[in-house]
Chain A
Amino acid sequence: MVISATRIDTLFGGACLVPPSRLAKMDMSTRPPLSPAEEDDEAALLARYAQGDAVAARRLTTALTPRLFGHALRVLGDHAEAEDVAQEAMLRLWRIAPAWRRGEAKVTTWLYRVVANLCTDRLRMRRSTRLDDIDEPADPAAHVEQGLQDAARADALQRALDALPHRQRQAVVLRHIDGLANPEIAVILDTGVEAVESLTARGKRALTQALIGQRDALGYDHDG
């Protein structure tokens, strides 16, 4: 069976359309976290999973779930929602496994795209239903006083990320935390490389503005 964009669209209700031809055109040479050999491993493991190999399922779960969960958590800022998104993305991977054609798409790119679309759906729903349900940001100075400066910095970064428009947030997280290259991010976000560069630049500027007033409280005047 051949994976076509139409086929995937049909399988997943159009929410996570992934044209393999576009994925195949990506330049993967600059993506730091995974080597081509590792990518091959993931596709090979997926093929083994499709043939009934339970060990392959465990290895894929261990290798991929933390990344997807981490990304979803950064973008959504909510543990429960991030868990649901990561589980749903992996479930879609399991279901598409028998029809997966190696060489046409990278497993991780396909998964990140599924996660990005699921996060976008949730952020849109949240924007329309939860405007009054946003927690007040905690005072970072309180953490510093308790000697939890690292936690305070992490919280501050997450709050600043949460305040970004969701496309900027996704682009910044994919680029600067997940460490993906701009061409791959462009495919994941279904946009052009220039648009990704613009999103990340604007996102970083907004983050800087959001954090600049907290530098003293976060200890950056002294150590960084």
Chain B
Amino acid sequence: MSVKVEVSEGGVPHDRIMAIGIVGSLVAIYLTYLNVLTGTQIFSFFGGIGAVFAIWWGTDSIKTLCSYGIGTGVPSAGMISLGSGVIAMLLATKLGVAAPIGLVIIAAVLGVILGFLSDKVLNMNIPVMIRQLTELTIVGALILLGFASMATGSFAFIDMITGTTTFFGIEVATYSASLIGGSIIAVIFMLGGIAIQHPFNACLGPNESQDRTQMCAAECGFLSMIAVAVMSFAFLSVSAAMLGLLVAFIGWIYTYNEYIKLSKRDAYDWLDAKPIREPKGGA
């Protein structure tokens, strides 16, 4: 589509963010396959990195979509992204090694259908609707697959529906102790859904700047990654889960610090325990 995409002044074009997001996310999710090749669980954390790339990209998609005056629709955009993404993600996990690539194709088809329905049938008439809903569906599916593969160490459906519990010292495989059977996927759904909408929702306003919003997106991604790393203790070995937690924590501390610096740069003033300064009275 030849619609002019609005970006903040001096910002990175949306197409470049999309390219970095999709390639980075796919590469990182594929790196979790090293688990299968080497027979360990130590590479699981790459799934979380893939989800962070997807969140980073999705934030800019939401910004593009919501620049058409959908102010209160920002959180809803996050929900529809993950809601449609979960269908594509579950279907794609049956594809074996081709799962991440297959996921992008399935999600794209699904996103076009949803975009067409909302733009043409429901008559929302937003020029970028079809493209952005397609992107958001892919983003939602990538977030779910990334975090799910981080939690379980694999992107195969079979590993998401079987977990092991210890029953009188004997390890038994059960459905109820798995990622899907234990509904951890519902937690990942919410972690992704809030993380993807929060950066633009938090930074919107006349002085919104792209680098700050995108830094907030990375921060939200690593924050969700911390939560997934904590939950991965139920599925992975202690060392693999600890490594995931460590990577997530380092990433989060770095991005959170950077975000505070950028907020300080953009803020009108940075005051500690000072009274209100009325704009007309001098200041």
Q: Do A and B come from one complex?
A: no
A: residues with CB less than 8 A from B are: none
